[in-house]
Structure 1
Amino acid sequence: MSSAVEINIDENSIPRDHLENAMIDSQLHECVKQDNTEALKRRFQQHLTEKLVTPCGNTLLHLAVSYGSDNIIAYLVKEFPSLITMANNQNDTVLHLAAREGTAIHTIKSLVELNPSLMRMANGKRNTPLHDAVIKGNEEVAKFLVARDPEVAYYSNKNGSSPLYLAVENGNKNGILDDLLDLGASIPITREDGDALPKRKSPVHAAIEQRNIDLLEKIAKAKPELLCLTDEELGNSLHYASSICFLEGVRFLLKNFLNGAYKTNSEGNYPIHVACKNESVDLVKEFLDIFPYPKEFLNKKGQNILHVAAENGQGNVVRYILEQYQKIVEPLLNEMDEDGNTPLHLAARHGQSTAAFVLVRDKRVKNSIVNNENFTPYDVAKQQSKMAVDQYDKTDEMLAKEREQFDSKNSIPADEIQIEVNSEDVKDGKKNSTTEKSTASTGSQGKDKAVGSKHYKLLDYYGTMTTLSILYFHARPKKSLYERFTSTQGKPPRKQETKSRIENLLVVAVLVAGVTFAGAIQMPQLRDKNNSSEHLQEFNSTATASHNSTAFDSPTGSSLLDGYLCLDVWALNTSVVAAIILLWTNLNDVKFAPFALWFSSLMVGGSIYMMCLSFFFAVSIAVGGSNYGVFAIIIIVVGIVFFVAQTLLYIQWILPPSVNQIIEGKLSHYVYYISFFMLVYNWRCLIYSVPRLHKLRDLWTNFPK
């Protein structure tokens, strides 16, 4: 190759914006399209050829290549060699365009022969011509380019994708992957512009992502060293296959890339740890069959596989590990990580109710171990529940402000973002300090609370409360009945919360007063009508009117009516008094509001209670003269049942708020515990029933009609 033809890239790759360009007119465009060299020469004699461009910056050589005009290409390359390395507005050279368009291979060969450095030039997307050829599926072009410069097969574009990765991603379209594997370089080297090869997307990861075992086997057979490539975020191929639960791929890699099982990813986890983060028991079984000594695998936090499974809430994986041989399980059960947390601590901290239930039910698990903060698993769950309640009580505006503050402090470590927690509520007096600052990062001295290591996130309220309820029944410290019911629960409502409660209760009180007032003025009118001989005949015209008349005329009906009116008047006056007291709160001291709120709640609750009783009397009056005895009995039975239920519920209105909070705190554990059992076992029954449903469907499909 003569030195006169070879062109220096840096001197000739001049950005189009710095040239005083002239636009290629339609006649020149037509000359190039028709491959008419003579007409082209006559048209641009008065212009510098290098300055003739289209609106998107394509030169005459770009146009000639796109149309496959061989005569004009030969003429321009010979007369104006600087056009070879000129780029358009997208930084595409003529070789990029030729590779994309699939121009005749002899054109590409001539361009490469003239300047081999074209093969490594990148456009605005950092794609080389080989990238474009692979994307468009031009096998002949890709095969030629990789044969001339095999190392380009590993160059990464802006997305971190190499031509080899793209070929795998396209599913070996037109057999391009086979060509790249056969002709590509064996070991990636450093790119000339300083970009290391390849740091990110590995072609093996692409095959794993598609769950294509055939492509994986093809790569391993042609270039086994590619199995060792590591992605900066995803880890090696065994990490990635484990993370997406690709069971067949994990089996293959454990046979062909066993060394990958001893490597850690950017988070410090081994592939067996990544497998335990998922719900696939079969995946964990594959690792334990080859490595029956899981205690040797500790991540950078000092956590074993049971720690990881519990922290991620994989209850089935935890159960499977606990079912292994005693020698395998025993070193894992109660081991502590760097923060002193056992697997049960981590399940409690992250609100993983299923994993916590499986662990706490195993008698070998010690639930009284304390971590570096001197917290037992029950203490951790209690602390998390306090924080979940605190987050739940905050308005959306307050949470939005906290998120904005967190986003504006990206440079500040997450463990500096703090949430205030009452330590006496957590340890029930075991710590002397009144308050403590509990960090919000995951994993920093066991204080991963409300804010993750990268993003602000809220605690799972239901999962946290359910986990606390499970540990409440199985792992809480033993206390006397007196200690349980004398412990402080909750805290007094804030001023804004009290104001909101007063407004809501005032609406209810006025509503009850209006309803009872309407009932009080209606019944006497109805009784007058029934006692009047003038209206008696009118009422007797229908069966309903005759029943009502009989009910009112009898002594029992009259007593029921008197009872109805008494209860109705009682409910009316009680609700009115409550409404007046609530209005007083706007005129008196703020300290008077909580007591007024409690007393008014007591009265409004009583008015509602009396209103329900009065309704029962009204129904008895309506069916008293009816011949439908069974219907009347049903109404009476239903009324008695609900009367008892209302009585039990009304007791809470009578008790002081502090006592109510204690009762609610104790009963809530039963509610969450029962709901946990219903959800877990119903889900398990559904999972077990699905295969049976498939079998029944197959039987029905194959059943001879």
Structure 2
Amino acid sequence: MSSAVEINIDVISIPRDHMENEMIDSQLHDCVKQDNPEALKRRVQQRSAEKLVTPCGNTLLHVAVSNGSDNITSYLVKEFPSLITMANSQKDTILHLAAREGKASRPIKCLAESNPSLMRKKNTKGNTPLHDAVIKGNKELAIFLVSKDPEVAYYNNKIGRSPLYLAVENDNKNGILDDLLYLGASIPITRVDGDALPKRKSPVHAAIEQRSIDLLEKIAKAKPELLCLTDEELGNSLHYASSICFLEGVRFLFKKFLDGAYETNSEGNYPIHVACKNESVDLVKEFLDIFPYPKEFLNKKGQNILHVAAENGQGNVVRYIVGNDQKNIVEPLLNEMDEDGNTPLHLAAQHGQSIAAFALVRDKRVENFIVNNENFTPYDVAKQQSKMAVDQYEKTDEMLAKEREQFDSKNSIPADEIQIEVNAEDVKDGKKNSTTEKATGSQGKDKAVDSKDYKLIDYYGTMTTLSILYFHARPKKSRYDERFTSTQGKPPRKQETRIRIQNLLVVAVLVAGVTFAGAIQMPQQKDKNNSTEFNSTALDSSTVPSLLDGYLCLDVWALNSSVVAAIILLWTHLNDVKFAPFAVRFSSLMVGGSIYMMCLSFFFAVTIALWGGSTYGLFDTILIVVGIVFFLSQTLLYILWILQPSVNQIIEGNLSHYVYYISFMFVYNWRCLTDSLRDLWTKPK
């Protein structure tokens, strides 16, 4: 193979649709496979050998290398040297095919030595031959390639993977990683072509992703400088280990790469900030043991670790930090403000993080009435966020899709310039007197979207957070105004009114049908009861007819109310649309009343069934008590229903805080109980 020719030209690919190529037939292919140069000479003429290709653009030399036909490979290289640098339709050179086919014969090695440029050529996937050798576990060729050109071990393909990265990702398949580490060159500092590894994923990131301490130790022993590499998105190795809660990896990197804890990522966060974005309290403990001065770590927004934990809703981390016994660690964090003037409680309220807000607001050291740069307290921020959540909840899917398109398009308006509709009564002390408010600063980032992606607001989390702050952090001077200020919204649109009419009409007809069926059964039931002897100890004989009469009266009342409501709703289709809102309001009261009477008549029927034919027992008592409780609840709800909308909304607004708060306390205590049981179960004995 001493006759191998060095070709110092770029790889030539063969676009078959632009060249008059000839297909390699089956006989010629068998000839190459049998490694018979004499038979090949008889079938191939010198003028056409370079134009013979397979459907995917492989030349005769590609086919020879793929089949390990060394004799034909030597012949073709000597007679047709231009074939050496030709690539197929996927831009694979002969070295790519040799790497994938596991071929590492002497002719292949001689070709690589004579044509070193082949070792750096990339195919359509961005893979060099060394990439393919590592992927396929071709150890012999991988060692040869990296020994001849060590720097290729750091080249990245199109998805940002270097051969070193792939060797780690493949869990050191065939021991290739060991050879790459010891034969590979030092990290290239700068390169004009931009192919080198720095600023991209490193093998250390791959080892961290697999949570392998063994691989980390191999890398640290052979190439400790790799621990210092930084990825543009993931940050350095400590950032990445913290982001996936790899506690053992963080401990290892503290010993080998402690300086990484003082570096920031693309978002301006230190590794300790990234740790606080996750729910691992043990990871935060590890950081605070090494760095007992967290107030010194501020990201580019001026936020400390408590800001980050509260913003990301890591309630357990917030509780741990707040409950830390060392005052010099906790107190400087509690009421610190970031560049937008937000405290950790502001951020918890802004992002609807109920558990974090609850942990903060219950701490007496936390000042609940600090105002941010927009002059909003945490409660004001939560209230504004709830308005936006309601507004987003009421939008149709088409409206949300349009908003999403605005933020996905390249020419969309930045998030901090979106006009957000806010009622004048909904902001602090009436200081905002316009119907729209331009969301800037912290308020422009908090809402239905962030600076990167369109996001839907967590409705339940936002409302729960507002309810928590309503009881624990509400300014006293605003309580009177909130309790007696009308919050009645705009009248419904025409389309919305039609939908309400249709829904009410369906309910009214259903109620009418049920009550009609109950009414026509009454004569038979009454004759049956008059001829039946009831237990005198359970029910007086004069009581049953009275209960049946009461049942009949309520049933007839419900039937007629629902029929009247149905007629009025049908009438709206024949009259002016201005009549529709009144019809909807009146019919809803009638339908609600008919449902209420139907439930009450059912209570009468149950009473007859229990007392009229059986002895008075424990099960009967339970049914009666449950019925009375639900009847009282229905009465209260119907009274609220018939009130004026403005009064009803005020009462509903105040009651909703109790509902959300009670539900939160149930979930919160349940989580605390399960966490305690889990810690008790996993605690080493």
- The equivalent of 1:539 in structure 2 is none
1:600 matches 2:587: yes
- The equivalent of 2:569 in structure 1 is 582
- The equivalent of 1:617 in structure 2 is 604
- The equivalent of 1:682 in structure 2 is 670
Relative distance call for 1:501 and 1:120 in structure 2 (3 A) is same
**Per-residue CA distance 1:598-625 (angstroms, 9 max, x = gap):** 3333333332333333333334444554
Matched position secondary structure for 1:419? strand
Equivalent AA in structure 1 for residue 350 of structure 2:
R
> What's the offset of the Cα at 1:556?
3.1
- 8 Å CA contact 1:32–1:72 kept in 2: the answer is yes
Equivalent AA in structure 2 for residue 651 of structure 1:
I
- The equivalent of 2:516 in structure 1 is 517
In the TM superposition, 1:568-579 aligns within 5 A as 568-579=555-566
Matched position secondary structure for 1:436? strand
1:329 matches 2:330: yes
> What's the offset of the Cα at 1:334?
1.1
- 8 Å CA contact 2:86–2:93 kept in 1: the answer is yes
Matched position secondary structure for 1:221? helix
In the TM superposition, 1:70-469 aligns within 5 A as 70-190=70-190, 193-324=193-324, 325-409=326-410, 412-438=413-439, 444=442, 447-469=445-467
In structure 2, distance between residues paired with 1:356 and 1:660: 29
Relative distance call for 1:529 and 1:124 in structure 2 (3 A) is closer
- 8 Å CA contact 1:419–1:438 kept in 2: the answer is yes
Matched position secondary structure for 1:8? coil
> What's the offset of the Cα at 1:463?
0.6
Matched position secondary structure for 2:87? coil
Greater alpha carbon shift after TM alignment, 316-325 vs 671-680: 316-325
> What's the offset of the Cα at 1:656?
1.4
In structure 2, distance between residues paired with 1:215 and 1:11: 36
- 8 Å CA contact 2:386–2:462 kept in 1: the answer is yes
- 8 Å CA contact 2:486–2:647 kept in 1: the answer is no
Equivalent AA in structure 1 for residue 354 of structure 2:
S
In structure 2, distance between residues paired with 1:444 and 1:551: 69
Equivalent AA in structure 2 for residue 520 of structure 1:
A
- 8 Å CA contact 2:309–2:317 kept in 1: the answer is yes
- The equivalent of 2:635 in structure 1 is 647
**Per-residue CA distance 1:362-381 (angstroms, 9 max, x = gap):** 11111111111111000000
In structure 2, distance between residues paired with 1:313 and 1:409: 30
Equivalent AA in structure 1 for residue 661 of structure 2:
Y
Equivalent AA in structure 2 for residue 463 of structure 1:
G
**Per-residue CA distance 1:427-458 (angstroms, 9 max, x = gap):** 2523232332336xxx6555420012122111
Equivalent AA in structure 2 for residue 485 of structure 1:
R
> What's the offset of the Cα at 1:360?
0.6
Matched position secondary structure for 2:238? helix
- The equivalent of 1:703 in structure 2 is none
> What's the offset of the Cα at 1:513?
2.9
- 8 Å CA contact 1:339–1:446 kept in 2: the answer is no
- 8 Å CA contact 1:155–1:198 kept in 2: the answer is no
In structure 2, distance between residues paired with 1:471 and 1:156: 51
Equivalent AA in structure 2 for residue 306 of structure 1:
L
Q: Unpaired runs of 5+ in structure 2?
A: none
In structure 2, distance between residues paired with 1:550 and 1:444: 72
Greater alpha carbon shift after TM alignment, 457-466 vs 569-578: 569-578
Matched position secondary structure for 1:230? coil
Relative distance call for 1:593 and 1:240 in structure 2 (3 A) is same
> What's the offset of the Cα at 1:627?
4.6
- 8 Å CA contact 1:423–1:436 kept in 2: the answer is no
> What's the offset of the Cα at 1:549?
14
Equivalent AA in structure 2 for residue 433 of structure 1:
S
**Per-residue CA distance 1:657-676 (angstroms, 9 max, x = gap):** 21111111111111111111
Length, aligned pairs only: 682
- 8 Å CA contact 2:4–2:114 kept in 1: the answer is no
In structure 2, distance between residues paired with 1:481 and 1:163: 65
In structure 1, distance between residues paired with 2:511 and 2:539: 26
> What's the offset of the Cα at 1:2?
10
> What's the offset of the Cα at 1:501?
2.6
- The equivalent of 1:33 in structure 2 is 33
- 8 Å CA contact 2:417–2:438 kept in 1: the answer is no
- The equivalent of 1:702 in structure 2 is none
Equivalent AA in structure 1 for residue 356 of structure 2:
A
Greater alpha carbon shift after TM alignment, 481-490 vs 465-474: 481-490
Equivalent AA in structure 2 for residue 402 of structure 1:
E
- 8 Å CA contact 2:419–2:437 kept in 1: the answer is no
> What's the offset of the Cα at 1:307?
0.7
> What's the offset of the Cα at 1:320?
1.7
Question: Equivalent of 1:476, from 474, 477, 491?
Answer: 474
Relative distance call for 1:76 and 1:516 in structure 2 (3 A) is closer
Relative distance call for 1:654 and 1:255 in structure 2 (3 A) is same
In structure 1, distance between residues paired with 2:283 and 2:538: 75
In structure 2, distance between residues paired with 1:577 and 1:639: 28
- The equivalent of 2:487 in structure 1 is 489
Relative distance call for 1:354 and 1:490 in structure 2 (3 A) is farther
Relative distance call for 1:510 and 1:49 in structure 2 (3 A) is closer
In structure 2, distance between residues paired with 1:257 and 1:405: 43
> What's the offset of the Cα at 1:69?
1.7
> What's the offset of the Cα at 1:679?
1.2
In structure 2, distance between residues paired with 1:187 and 1:167: 17
**Per-residue CA distance 1:23-60 (angstroms, 9 max, x = gap):** 22222222211211111111113742211222221112
Matched position secondary structure for 2:439? strand
- 8 Å CA contact 1:548–1:621 kept in 2: the answer is no
TM-score, length of structure 2 as denominator length: 0.92
In structure 1, distance between residues paired with 2:148 and 2:278: 44
**Per-residue CA distance 1:263-301 (angstroms, 9 max, x = gap):** 111111111111111111121122222222211111111
- 8 Å CA contact 1:50–1:59 kept in 2: the answer is yes
**Per-residue CA distance 1:121-149 (angstroms, 9 max, x = gap):** 11221211111111111111111111111
Matched position secondary structure for 2:438? strand
Relative distance call for 1:623 and 1:481 in structure 2 (3 A) is same
- 8 Å CA contact 1:548–1:622 kept in 2: the answer is no
> What's the offset of the Cα at 1:628?
2.2
Relative distance call for 1:260 and 1:627 in structure 2 (3 A) is closer
- The equivalent of 1:662 in structure 2 is 650
In structure 2, distance between residues paired with 1:175 and 1:480: 70
In structure 2, distance between residues paired with 1:331 and 1:624: 69
Matched position secondary structure for 1:629? coil
Matched position secondary structure for 1:9? coil
- The equivalent of 1:555 in structure 2 is 542
What is the root-mean-square deviation of aligned Cα atoms in Å? 2.9
In structure 1, distance between residues paired with 2:655 and 2:312: 28
TM-score, length of structure 1 as denominator length: 0.90
- 8 Å CA contact 1:582–1:597 kept in 2: the answer is yes
Relative distance call for 1:223 and 1:552 in structure 2 (3 A) is closer
In structure 2, distance between residues paired with 1:372 and 1:98: 64
> What's the offset of the Cα at 1:119?
1.1
> What's the offset of the Cα at 1:335?
1.2
In structure 2, distance between residues paired with 1:655 and 1:335: 46
Matched position secondary structure for 1:180? helix
In structure 2, distance between residues paired with 1:11 and 1:682: 66
Equivalent AA in structure 2 for residue 144 of structure 1:
F
Equivalent AA in structure 1 for residue 172 of structure 2:
N
